A = this chain, B = another copy of it.
Amino acid sequence: MVPVVKRAPVSLRDLGARAIHAALADAGLEKVDALYVGNMLADELSGQKHIATLMASHAGLVGVEAIHTRAATASGAAAFRVACLAVASGEVDLAMAMGVELMSAGPPPERALTMALDAQREIPNGLTMVEANAQLMALYLTRYGVEQARFANFAVNAHRNAVTNPRALFRHRVDATRVVNSRVISEPLRLYDCSPVCDGAAAVILCPAGRAPGVHPSLVRVLASAVATDRFAVADRPDPLAIEAARQSASQAYKQARITRREIDFFELHDAFSIMACLQLEACGFAERGQGWRMAEEGEIFREGRLPISTLGGLKARGHPIGASGLYQVAEMVLQMRGEAGPNQLARTDLAMTQSIGGAGTTVFTHILGW
Contact = CB atoms under 8 A, between A and B. Distances in A.
Interface of A: 11, 13, 34, 40, 43-44, 46-54, 56-58, 62-72, 78, 81-82, 84-86, 88-92, 112, 115-120, 123, 225, 227-233, 236, 244-245, 248, 358-359, 362-363
A225 B62 CA distance: 19
A115 B68 CA distance: 14
A232 B53 contact: yes
Contacts of A71: 50, 52-53, 66-68
B53 A358 contact: yes
Given A53-B232, A232-B58, A91 B225 contact: yes
Given A82-B82, A85-B86, A91-B88, A66 B227 contact: yes
Given A115-B43, A225-B91, A67 B69 contact: yes
Residue of A34, A48, A70 contacting most chain B CB atoms (<10 Å): A70
Contacts of A52: 70-71, 363
Given A53-B362, A116-B50, A69 B68 contact: yes
A62 B231 contact: yes
A48 B362 CA distance: 14
A261 to B, nearest CB: 20
Contact of A49 (B49, B72, B227): B72
B67 A82 contact: yes
A228 B117 CA distance: 33
A60 to B, nearest CB: 10
Nearest to A113: B49
Contacts of A119: 46-48
A228 B65 contact: yes
Nearest to A120: B11
B229 A62 contact: yes
A255 B72 CA distance: 36
28 contacts: A13-B120, A46-B119, A47-B119, A48-B118, A49-B115, A49-B116, A53-B71, A53-B358, A53-B359, A53-B362, A56-B229, A57-B231, A62-B231, A63-B245, A64-B228, A64-B229, A66-B71, A66-B229, A66-B363, A67-B69, A68-B78, A69-B69, A82-B85, A84-B89, A85-B86, A85-B92, A88-B90, A89-B89
Contacts of A11: 120
A267 to B, nearest CB: 21
Closest CB pairs A-B (n = 4): A88-B89, A57-B232, A65-B227, A50-B72
Contact of A65 (B53, B118, B229): B229
Contacts of A62: 229-231
Contacts of A69: 67-70, 82
Contacts of A118: 48, 54
Residue of A91, A116, A123 contacting most chain B CB atoms (<10 Å): A91
Contacts of A92: 85
Given A68-B69, A69-B69, A69-B82, 15 more contacts: A34-B227, A49-B116, A52-B70, A53-B72, A53-B230, A53-B363, A57-B230, A63-B245, A64-B229, A67-B78, A69-B70, A82-B82, A85-B91, A85-B92, A89-B90
A85 B248 CA distance: 23
Contact of A227 (B13, B67, B78, B115): B67
Residue of A81, A227, A236 contacting most chain B CB atoms (<10 Å): A227
A43 B113 CA distance: 11
Contacts of A236: 57
